[in-house]
Amino acid sequence: MKCPYCNDVNTQVVDTRENEEADTVRRRRRCMVCDKRFTTYERVELQLPQIVKKNGSRTDYARDKLKGSMMLSLRKRSVPTELIDAAIDRIEEKLVQLAEREVNSDRIGELVMRELKKLDKVAYIRFASVYRNFEDVDEFSDAIREIKKPRVARRPAK
């Protein structure tokens, strides 16, 4: 590992710690030449599939793009960033588990809708209206009916 201060490759690991989820390793290093200390992080790099768009073109998976589209749907909604990141992590896990080299963008859209449905119903409707290309009010009504929970009738007090 190169020292960020003097660019020498002669560095030594002083301390190593895993985070709570054990998916990242934090290493404190010391440069043997300039004696300065710095931190590096190590995590597994997963090979995510290429995305096949509706027009047939292919593009690399981009977490930032996925997060951007979700954030657009979640705009002005009170959903914590940690929950959004966890939802994106679940989507990525599913993509890795598919073990396919290419995935249609429709598949990712469905995964996003499933996660948004759990996070925030309004964001789900926003995303669905664009993703499914709603053209009239009836399609919004159908989507709302789809997510509404049937209310349990209360028994009258005796």
pLDDT at residue 133, as a whole number: 66
pLDDT at 157 over 60: no
- pLDDT (0 to 100) of residue 152: 53
DSSP secondary structure, 36-77, as one string = -EEEEEEE----PPEEE-TTS-EE---HHHHHHHHHHHTTT-
Taking CA atoms, 103 is separated from 23, 52, 157, in Å, by 25, 6, 55
Domain layout of the chain by residue ranges = 11-43, 50-147
Give the tokens for residue 50. Answer: 């290429």
**What local confidence, expressed as pLDDT, does residue 71 receive?**
93
Instruction: Report pLDDT digits (tens) over 97-148.
Output: 888 999 999 899 899 989 998 998 888 888 877 766 667 666 767 777 777 7
Confidence (pTM)? 0.60
| pLDDT band, very low/low/confident/very high, at 21 (cuts 50, 70, 90) | confident
Which phi and psi angles does 52 have, rounded to 5°?
Answer: -100, 115
Q: At residue 56, what is the residue type?
A: G
**pLDDT tens digits along 80-99:** 999 999 999 999 999 988 88
Domain 50-147 listed as CATH 1.10.3470: no
